[in-house]
């Protein structure tokens, strides 16, 4: 099923569910080469969400600021490439949501453990806001906070479950958003965690 969320934004319920094993295996290979780490915000706070990336560039934050970097600062090597299964899934989901021709060059991978949260923000470090962001939820469910164009707009709470894909384009591309504190739980494949793959055209 496909649920409109807002202008330009679509929820594809359980779209990735049938690929869960392939995605989990590809993810294990990526985190073997580029382990999850807790990055620091420019203001000096450790993020509760652990992150890594794959693709031609990865999103990083440290004392110097937020940016896309072709090199993983932890390993000194390029990020692992985007696996074909990731590229294929992201392109199919974007097309289903009305964005044909989506070719991401970066995937930010977020790992939430119980208590992890992501405070309200906009994704503004990409060069071209005309491309959507495709977000794949795996493992434990989360409450996504979907705000508006202004930080002060009261966010809607949207439940995102294992296999759900949200596509954020058009006017929703620059909406303020976040993720509420993850609740405890157990998922048969991903255990006590939520993984989110966010596909971007960054460069």
Interface contacts to ligand MD5, rule CB under 6 A: 108, 110, 118, 123, 133, 135, 146, 168, 172-173, 175, 177, 179, 196, 198
Residues 123-182 that bind Fe ion (CB under 5 A): 123
Own/partner pairs for 19-24, CB < 8 Å, 24+ apart? Answer: 19/85, 19/89, 20/138, 20/162, 20/163, 20/189, 21/189, 22/85, 23/85, 23/86, 23/89, 23/136, 23/138, 23/197, 24/138, 24/189, 24/190
Q: How far is the CB of 66 from ligand MD5 (least distance, A)?
A: 10
Phi–psi pair at 32, nearest 5 degrees:
-65, -35
Nearer to ligand MD5 (CB atom), residue 76 or residue 103: 103
Nearer to ligand MD5 (CB atom), residue 168 or residue 190: 168
Q: How far is the CB of 119 from Fe ion (least distance, A)?
A: 10
Residues 74-133 that bind Fe ion (CB under 5 A): 123
Evaluated on CA atoms 89, 92, 93, 94, the torsion sign reads positive
Select from Fe ion, ligand MD5, none the partner in contact with residue 135, using the beta carbon and a kind-dependent cut-off of 5 to 8 Å.
ligand MD5
Q: How far is the CB of 131 from ligand MD5 (least distance, A)?
A: 11
How far is 146 from 41, CA to CA, in rounded Å? 22
Q: How far is the CB of 196 from Fe ion (least distance, A)?
A: 9
Select from ligand MD5, Fe ion, none the partner in contact with residue 53, using the beta carbon and a kind-dependent cut-off of 5 to 8 Å.
none
Nearer to ligand MD5 (CB atom), residue 24 or residue 66: 66
Helical spans, DSSP H, in the chain? 20-33, 84-96
How far is 202 from 20, CA to CA, in rounded Å? 25
Q: Which of 191, 192, 133, 135 is nearest to 163 (CA)?
A: 135
Q: How far is the CB of 44 from ligand MD5 (least distance, A)?
A: 19
Select from Fe ion, ligand MD5, none the partner in contact with residue 175, using the beta carbon and a kind-dependent cut-off of 5 to 8 Å.
ligand MD5
């Amino acid at each position: 099923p496909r649920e409109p969320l807002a202008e330009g934004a679509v929820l594809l319920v359980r779209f990735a569910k049938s690929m869960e094993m392939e995605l989990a295996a590809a993810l294990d290979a990526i985190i073997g080469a580029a382990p999850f780490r807790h990055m620091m915000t420019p203001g000096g706070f450790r993020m509760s969400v652990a992150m890594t990336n794959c693709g031609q560039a990865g999103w990083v934050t440290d004392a110097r600021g937020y940016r896309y970097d072709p090199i993983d600062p932890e390993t000194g090597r390029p990020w692992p490439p985007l696996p074909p299964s990731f590229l294929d899934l992201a392109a199919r989901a974007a097309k289903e949501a009305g964005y044909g021709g989506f070719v991401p060059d970066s995937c930010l991978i977020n790992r939430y453990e119980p208590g992890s949260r992501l405070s309200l923000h906009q994704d503004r470090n990409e060069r071209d806001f005309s491309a959507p962001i495709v977000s794949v939820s795996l493992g434990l469910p989360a409450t996504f906070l979907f705000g508006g164009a202004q930080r002060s707009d009261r966010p809607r709470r949207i439940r995102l479950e294992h296999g759900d894909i949200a596509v954020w384009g058009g006017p929703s591309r620059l909406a303020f958003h976040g993720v509420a504190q993850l609740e405890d739980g157990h998922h048969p494949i991903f255990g006590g965690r939520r993984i989110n793959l966010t596909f971007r055209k960054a460069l």
